[in-house]
Amino acid sequence: MIENLQKVFESRVRLGLMSILMVNDSVDFNTLKENLGVTDGNLASHLIALEKKEMITVTKEFVGRKPKTTYQATKIGKQLFKQHLAALEKLINGN
């Protein structure tokens, strides 16, 4: 069961990011930043890492003239996150 703990979610920021994207379909950068309380650069690097691992997708669109970037969890991302949660719960209740 330890192998179900996903290495990709090891950092607190990534864990928080995935938690937010599990319960919200689509979230923009500023909302993520506000909820997590991290700097732009820090958040951006974690977002890129999660995108590379295909845990999240990035959508860019224009609202009027302003570009707006939103983030969504992928199917695989959600699945792995659920596994991660189950593994955590097992660690607590199991032994």
Check residue 15 for interaction with other proteins (CB under 8 A): yes
Q: How many residues does the chain have?
A: 95
Residues binding other proteins: what is the number (CB under 8 A)?
20
* Sole binder of other proteins in the list 24, 72, 74, 83 (CB under 8 A): 24
Check residue 4 for interaction with other proteins (CB under 8 A): no
Instruction: Say how far apart CA 70 and CA 58 lie, in whole Å.
Output: 6
**CB nearer other proteins, residue 24 or residue 57:** 24
Check residue 78 for interaction with other proteins (CB under 8 A): no
Instruction: Say how far apart CA 52 and CA 56 lie, in whole Å.
Output: 8
Quick count: other Cβ atoms within 10 Å of Cβ 55? 24
